[in-house]
Amino acid sequence: MRSIIITMLLLFVLNACSLTSQEYPAEPEYIPSEYEMQHESEYMLETTTLNFVDERVELISLIFRLSGLGTSFLNNFTDYHFLLMQTFDEFRDHPAVVFIYNQGPYFVNSEAFALLAVHLEKQDDGFVLIGNIELSNSEEWALWTSEKAEEFVTLLNDFYSVTNFHAFFQENTEYFQAHTERFIAQVYANVNHEWFAQHGIKRENMHPVIMTSIRYLALGPSVLCTSTGEIIAYAMIPSSLSYNDSWVRWAIIHEYAHSIANPIADSWYAENEEFRRMVHESRISFTHSFITAREYITDALVIWYKSENCDSERERLLNEFVARGYTYMHEVFDMVSEKFR
């Protein structure tokens, strides 16, 4: 017993040291598995200069973090998080941070930061809104109006300037590239982009994003290009020491699937009385019924993807989701299959 207690104390001390260390970046050397080395493709070999960390996402998530309200932004898990706070903690009272704080915890803990980020475009020394951000809102839950977004972007650009955030972002490029290389080698190279193309999302419109500023949150925002009608899809995944994990693998597929599923779910929920009944009568529920509707369609697509790309038995997957509370997953899956037939 005594030896066990001593071991636990040693582990605690070691973990505490690793959390408070100021060496940056400090991560264990990544050693690829035999499988990864055998399946290394030309695409993977050409990725050493790629960077899947998005400056827009990092900038806005920093402001949300400084508000002190978001549960995904509160804790510091890596040396990068500590560096982030050491560098920018003095800007907690900036008007951009105050603006977000005044929106309240419900807003901060939503996908608002990601939704705005994908509707921004770099122009000169700041950012401008692109597309129509209101099209990405549900009628039941409008996170951003055009006026609200424009007001915040003005404050955002001032924060970007006075903090010199761009220089900070550039200084950490090697750290971001290391995450990107590991992410591609361990998981992203195996994503079947052509499957999504068959369902309306072109490969060139699929953008993976590694979120190094937050933890425990995956998101799938999208932008509707009003000139072409095409959907620009994003799969946003939190950074990790290892991406060779089933949760990461399926989070990517799930978040990309949202870009296909959300418009269908919103339409069916508004117009299809039978679908709306199934959503309301299901044992699983989210904050809003329309979110439950979106998750239904999204997970039906994930089941479809798994059954066609991973040798997974479709009936078993359907039953698993029914057991999780998606009472009518069989019926919803049939509706989704019929739509794309």
Structural domain boundaries in the chain: 272-341
The reported pTM is: 0.82
Radius of gyration, alpha carbons of the chain = 21
DSSP code per residue over 134-193: GGGSBTTB-S--HHHHHHHHHHHHHHHHHTTHHHHHHHTHHHHHHHHHHHHHHTGGG--H
In this prediction, residue 337 carries a pLDDT of 95
In this prediction, residue 110 carries a pLDDT of 83
Q: What is the mean pLDDT of each run of 10 residues along the chain (341 residues)?
A: 43 35 34 41 48 96 90 74 92 97 88 91 91 60 84 97 97 94 92 92 94 85 82 92 85 95 93 96 87 95 93 92 96 96 82
In this prediction, residue 21 carries a pLDDT of 29
Instruction: Give the start-end residues of each E strand in the chain.
Output: 120-123, 126-129, 206-211, 222-224, 231-238
SS3 192: coil
Say if CB 258 and CB 294 are below 8 A apart. yes
Nearest to 301 by CA among 330, 273, 337: 337
In this prediction, residue 140 carries a pLDDT of 52
Tokens (6 digits) for 64: 């949300």
Query: ∠318-319-321 over CA atoms, to 5°?
Result: 70
